[in-house]
Amino acid sequence: MNDRAKDDLKPITNESGIEVKPLYTAADVEASGGLSMLGQPGEYPFTRGIHRLMYRKQPWTMRQYAGFGNPADTNKRFKYLIANGQTGLNVAFDLPTQIGLDSDDPLAEGEIGRVGMSVDTLRDFEVAFDGIDLNKITVSLTINGAAAILIAMYLAMAEKRGYDVKQLRGTAQNDILKEFIGRGTWIFPVEPSIRLVGDTIEYCAEHAPKYSPVSVCGYHIRESGANPAQEMAYAFCIAKAYADDVIKRGLHVDEFAGRLSYNFNIFGNIFEQVAKFRAGRGLWAKIMKEQYGAEKPGSMWLRMIAAGGGGGLTFEQPEVNIVRGAYYALISALSGTQTMALCSYDEAYTIPTEYSARISLRTMQLLIEEMGLTETVDPLGGSFYVETMTNQMRQKMEEIMAEVDAQGGIVKLVSEGAIQSKVSAQAYKMQRDIESGKFRKVGVNCYRNEKEEEHPVEFHPYNEEDTRVQIAGLDKIRAERDPAKVSQALARLSADASAGRNVMPALVEAVKAYATVGEMTQEMVKIFGRYQEPIRF
């Protein structure tokens, strides 16, 4: 391309702030850092994938996010998805459960079972997972503020059903720092919240070594306004904060790092997204090896669930979200994810119906069965564009992490509300760019149907009967349990929390006594207090 032709082109810069050239050559790869961080799949630095054969040996796990109403309702949806080929479960909890409230708490009114499954006691988990083989279907618990309680509940439920907890696999989201940044379902202040994450990692390292107690979520930071490079960089800063807490307790990094996992977002430019994940794998491996002295390859793996972010979907022309979802799944497969959870086309409106959830599931199955996405490893590897962009994205992430460290670290910045303020400002700017048409969004600010045809979406109703059934079940448990055992377990929880001991053994005891989520939360609030959000302008 001659210089005059180049001069006529409008400059393009991706969301992460990297200029995109009209053509890439081997010289661009070399100028961006060469191929020193490429390696082979399954070998350090794992840029091309954490396993040698990747999907050729085993396709990604399909784990649609699901849960609503009471545990019996959710159990039916779980079994529907499994019957249609889903290979993992991803549990949604209602807001009262997420912030440690019982279903009969006045503050829970109107929210019981609305955005996820309602859980009060161990009995609810027994119902929700009834008839599901936990050795064949791994379960991800999407819970953060109350994660320690729900992890204890899951392990107790599995043990009660006869499973060997030391062999039990599964994941809990349990990333409280991103809750302060992005979602807001916190309970305790920042420092004790990090301590609780450390308690779960330490406990699982000894008692449930194949269980992944934390899935660090760049996903929600991205949904809150971060760009793709910030999404990865902030997630790595957060993971390092958790790792530092556990190492202070005397554990070696190889005793727990292999069970850390990640949850990342996908929407936007295909090549920026693929480069983001390839760069992130190499950078995380480098951090764990060079900064933490990890020796086991598994400790350096960036294991992740990655798929479509709801932030990319649109209210307008909802069927177009089916196509968006298919591209998100394609990006996820090209990026080398271990698990895929695809947002359904109606999620910009409501809880997905069985029909929309099945379309998402079939989309992932199409990639496996018909599109050849599982036939070879890292199919975009070697592209001048992708390798250059991978190097540039890794450099961007390193710059952002260095900036965070220079300002006092991620814990300090989150405590002060600085990260929240930064991503909120970016989200506001993005919304203004969409409204002005500067950022193109099909069906929203271009290619609109001026006379929108009616394409009704089936809204998931709020069911008052679910609330009545849930509260009645809670009353029954309270009447039947041994009050002395409950009191004794809660007293132990309070004492351990106050003394700085790991609270997980006390939580497991309390869960087994059928203490409620609200009761256990209150005992810890008495010791830790409640988080007060800093306000910055």
Phi and psi of 122, rounded to 5°?
-55, -30
Phi and psi of 248, rounded to 5°?
-60, -25
Q: Residue 24: its pLDDT value, please?
A: 98
How many CB atoms neighbour CB 497 within 10 A? Answer: 24
Range with the lowest mean pLDDT among 144-148, 181-185, 218-222, 447-451? Answer: 447-451
Query: What is the rounded average pLDDT of the residues 17-31?
Result: 98
DSSP secondary structure, 176-233, as one string: HHHIIIII----S-HHHHHHHHHHHHHHHHHH-TTEE-EEEEHHHHHHTT--HHHHHH
List all residues 6 or more positions away from 41 whose beta carbon is below 8 Å from its beta carbon.
48, 49, 50, 51, 52, 53, 54, 377, 378
User: pTM to 2 decimals?
Assistant: 0.95
Question: What distance in Å separates the CA atoms of residue 89 and residue 127, rounded to the nearest whole number?
Answer: 15
Query: What is the rounded average pLDDT of the residues 334-342?
Result: 95
Model pLDDT for residues 162-210, shown as the tens digit of each residue: 999 999 999 999 999 999 998 889 999 999 999 999 999 999 999 999 9
Q: Residue 311: its pLDDT value, please?
A: 84
Query: What is the rounded average pLDDT of the residues 428-434?
Result: 96
Q: Residue 4: its pLDDT value, please?
A: 58
Q: Residue 453: its pLDDT value, please?
A: 63
Percent of the chain with pLDDT over 70: 97
Confidence of residue 6 (pLDDT cuts 50, 70, 90): low
Query: What is the rounded average pLDDT of the residues 362-386?
Result: 97
Q: Which two tokens stand for residue 147?
A: 């994660």
Q: Which two tokens stand for residue 74?
A: 């959710």
Is 341:300 a contact under the CB 8 Å cutoff?
Answer: no
Q: Which two tokens stand for residue 474?
A: 């809670």
Range with the lowest mean pLDDT among 264-268, 293-297, 481-485? Answer: 264-268
Model pLDDT for residues 270-307, shown as the tens digit of each residue: 999 999 999 999 999 999 999 999 999 999 999 999 97
Query: What is the rounded average pLDDT of the residues 326-352?
Result: 92
- Nearest 5°: the CA angle 236, 302, 291 is 55
1 pLDDT exceeds 60?
no
Q: Residue 411: its pLDDT value, please?
A: 97
Model pLDDT for residues 52-72, shown as the tens digit of each residue: 999 999 999 999 889 989 999
How deeply is 465 buried, as exposed, middle or buried, from its count of CB atoms within 10 A (0-12, 13-18, 19+)? exposed
Query: What is the rounded average pLDDT of the residues 397-418?
Result: 97
Confidence of residue 214 (pLDDT cuts 50, 70, 90): very high
Q: Which two tokens stand for residue 132?
A: 């599901």
Q: Residue 160: its pLDDT value, please?
A: 97
Question: What distance in Å separates the CA atoms of residue 215 and residue 304, rounded to the nearest whole number?
Answer: 8
Query: What is the rounded average pLDDT of the residues 448-462?
Result: 74
Q: Residue 536: its pLDDT value, please?
A: 66
Q: How many residues appear in the chain?
A: 537
Query: What is the rounded average pLDDT of the residues 101-108?
Result: 97
Percent of the chain with pLDDT over 90: 88
For the chain, the C-alpha Rg in angstroms (whole number) is 23
